[in-house]
């Protein structure tokens, strides 16, 4: 089965109502009448209702940046999967390195969030990736395999039939340094092989997307790699023309 390319915009903690509208309008104008991949917009949680309205009757899909594991209860400040679904989210980023590093999320919590997302019909975009020190110490394979394996152990391979994995080397996020296409391909291949050891057909369908300083200039060479199925884009997703250009470059494989 052919894997449909997916390009997700992670706005992180950026945006204001007027800017959000302007960004979406410019993006839609720029993508009109071109073949596009599957595009997911993940705004800050407070703007999900606004974006649900903005994206209505468009091909763009709404996603969230985070969720909590429980459906409801005394968890001040948290947002649950049913709440995200209530506002039309179809995807949710889980285990982003900023959540792991700045908010102390571990594999156990991330696996629980993965399960919570799927219980409400949301597809998790599970982020994994090594730090600069880990890469320099030759630990990339161990770290990434362990991150995938820990979630896999908890949720079972079947859960990956409705999930996406994002390889996001921590050293490439927001730094302007992108993994080379070869570096990305080798880790993507490893991720797919980790899933394939348990179920080859699920591994064959699984979308493994790349994140870390993806921009208009490097999108084409990344998507040309056999195991790169799209991108998770931070900084460049805030500039309509840049993000549209990434989407256009990445639609080519989708239509190849
Ligand atoms: P970046 O962020 O594109 O700004 O490097 C990617 C991400 O953190 O998802």
Does the Cβ of 173 fall within 6 Å of ligand 1?
yes
Q: What are the structure tokens assigned to 23, written together?
A: 């960004």
Q: How far is the CA of 214 from the centre of ligand 1 (A)?
A: 7
168 Cβ inside 6 Å of ligand 1: yes
pLDDT digits (tens, 9 = 90+) for 191-250: 999 999 999 999 999 999 999 999 999 999 999 999 999 999 999 999 999 999 999 999
Whole-model pTM: value is 0.97
- The 10s digit of each residue's pLDDT in 53-92 is 999 999 999 999 999 999 999 999 999 999 999 999 999 9
**CA 235 to ligand 1 centroid distance, Å:** 6
Angle CA 8–12–18, to nearest 5: 95
Question: pLDDT of 175-184, one tens digit each?
Answer: 999 999 999 9
The long-range contacts involving 72-80, CB below 8 angstroms and separated by at least 24 positions, are 79/45, 80/116, 80/120
Contact criterion met (CB below 8 Å) for 153 and 173: no
Q: Are 157 and 198 in contact (CB under 8 A)?
A: yes
Position 33 scores a pLDDT of 85
């Amino acid at each position: 089965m052919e894997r449909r390319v997916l390009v997700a915009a992670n706005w992180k903690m950026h945006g204001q109502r007027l800017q959000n509208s302007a960004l979406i309008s410019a993006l839609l104008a720029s993508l009109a009448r071109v073949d596009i991949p599957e595009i997911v917009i993940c705004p800050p949680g407070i703007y999900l209702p606004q974006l649900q309205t903005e994206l209505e009757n468009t091909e763009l899909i709404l996603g969230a940046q985070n969720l909590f594991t429980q459906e409801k209860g005394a968890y001040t400040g948290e947002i649950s999967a049913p709440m995200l679904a209530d506002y039309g989210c179809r995807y949710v980023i889980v285990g982003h390195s900023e959540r792991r590093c700045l908010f102390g999320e571990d594999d156990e919590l991330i696996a629980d969030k993965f399960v919570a997302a799927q219980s409400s019909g949301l597809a998790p975009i599970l982020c994994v990736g090594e730090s600069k020190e880990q890469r320099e110490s030759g630990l990339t394979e161990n770290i990434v395999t362990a991150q995938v394996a820990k979630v896999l152990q908890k949720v079972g391979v079947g859960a990956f039939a409705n999930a996406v994995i994002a390889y996001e080397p921590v050293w490439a996020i927001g730094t302007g340094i992108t993994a080379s296409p070869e570096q990305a391909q080798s880790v993507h291949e490893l991720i797919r092989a980790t899933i394939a050891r348990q179920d080859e057909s699920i591994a064959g369908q699984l979308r493994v997307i790349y994140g870390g300083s993806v921009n208009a200039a490097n999108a084409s060479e990344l998507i040309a790699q056999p195991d790169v199925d799209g991108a998770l884009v931070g900084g460049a997703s805030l500039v309509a023309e840049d993000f549209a250009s990434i989407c256009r470059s990445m639609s080519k494989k989708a239509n190849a």
